[in-house]
Amino acid sequence: MRGSICVLIACILALAGATTGLGAEVRAVCRIPAEIALPCRGASETMRVFVRGNSGWQPADYTMAGERVIFRLRPGELGSSQIRLLIDPPAWLDIDDITPPTLTGLKIDGQPLAAETTVHLGMGPDAPATIRLGARDAENRLDFDSVVATLDGVALPAGSITVEPGDDRSASVEVRLGKVEYGTHRAVVSIADASPQANRLEVAVLFSRVDMTNYLLPTLPGVKLTVSSSFPGYEDLTALNDGRKEFDGVHCQNDVSWASAEQPGPHWVEARFGQPRELKEVTVYWAFYGSTHHTSQKLQVQAPEGGGWRTVYTSPTEGHPVGPCTTFSFPAVTVDGFRIVQDDGGGAAGRPQLMWIAEVEAR
Ligand SMILES: [Ca+2]
Ligand SMILES: [Ca+2]
């Protein structure tokens, strides 16, 4: 694995101090001709060094001085102030490689698909659980440590990625997406080759997780919603189950959302089905205002029991990731309703005494 050292040169002065080893890469920013001196203990006069500015790699101009190596950087000739030096790259490395690895296979949940770098899965009640791809590079080894997987731009933890090398130049990568919320999503898995350019194969999988089952559809008989209080101008509760939950803009008013009074104490929304239902999850779509979703951080879902309430879901201590919606799952209970109780101060980070909801669904 090559090291990478960044230096900033602002004037014609030799800059020393960064230690480099075999196969090291040095990045420098200089707008005027400069020299850079690096300690290079044990290096031989036959060191292979390449320099790159605006175009491809070319042999670098350097001299040895004791245990230092001195490079002359000429941004004018290289066509760029962003200069990279590659010192003694391994013999197998094709440093001029500008081609990303090839996608050799793709499976979603074990089902083979055409090996295309953008896949639209459409909509369904379940999100894909695993994405598995095969990659091979024609010019270089793969960088097995370069694998990155994201869901909606957020990196998935390393524990959800498994890389199985085939040979130096090929690998199979499996990514487990974990729990995925309702809504439209984009999962991206990428792997780079070992060239200095780190050419990257990127595979995007797009899908929508949609479940039309919803006990709170306003057309269902007996469905009724009540709340603890309302923010002035947000008294109309039809916004809680009118189906409008995704919207743009800065105005999140009562035509799409309901908000509690903004005051200390718990806030709650109570829903009644009008008949017993087997309930296992409640999804809340959060109000979007001021460029953020107002995702409550501390709440409980409670089921009616013996004239009182029994808590079936409690927020994790770390709260909820801020996003368009949150699904609270729990062991199924047969009930004719439920309520969502936000703790005192358990609202979104910016307005903790407010509960602000665009839509509630229950299944
Ligand atoms: Ca390549
Ligand atoms: Ca709504």
- Measured in Å, residue 69 CA sits from the centre of ligand 2 at 67
Rounded to 5 degrees, φ, ψ at 301 are: -100, 130
Band (328; pLDDT cuts 50, 70, 90):
very high
pLDDT beyond 80 at 105 = yes
CA-CA distance, 241 to 231, in Å (whole number)?
A: 18
CA-CA distance, 314 to 93, in Å (whole number)?
A: 54
Per-domain residue ranges of the chain: 4-87, 102-209, 224-362
Least confident of 63-67, 82-86, 155-159, 276-280: 63-67
- Measured in Å, residue 199 CA sits from the centre of ligand 1 at 6
- Measured in Å, residue 251 CA sits from the centre of ligand 1 at 48
- The reported pLDDT for the residue numbered 247 is 65
Taking every pair of Cα atoms in the chain, the longest distance, rounded to a whole number of angstroms, is: 88
6: Cα separation from own chain's centroid: 27
- Around ion ligand 2, residues with a beta carbon closer than 5 Å are 239, 242, 244, 256, 358-359
CA-CA distance, 197 to 93, in Å (whole number)?
A: 11
Using DSSP's 3-state secondary structure scheme, residue 77 falls into helix
Residue range 14-43: average pLDDT?
A: 67
Band (8; pLDDT cuts 50, 70, 90):
very low
329 vs 246, higher pLDDT: 329
Fold designation for 224-362: Jelly Rolls (2.60.120)
- Measured in Å, residue 152 CA sits from the centre of ligand 2 at 23
Residue range 87-114: average pLDDT?
A: 95
Residue range 324-337: average pLDDT?
A: 97
Architecture of domain 102-209: Sandwich (2.60)
The candidate with the shortest Cα–Cα distance to 270, out of 175, 362, 348, is 362
Exposure on the CB side of residue 63, measured as CA atoms within 13 A: 4
Q: Which ligand is nearest to the CA of 253?
A: 2
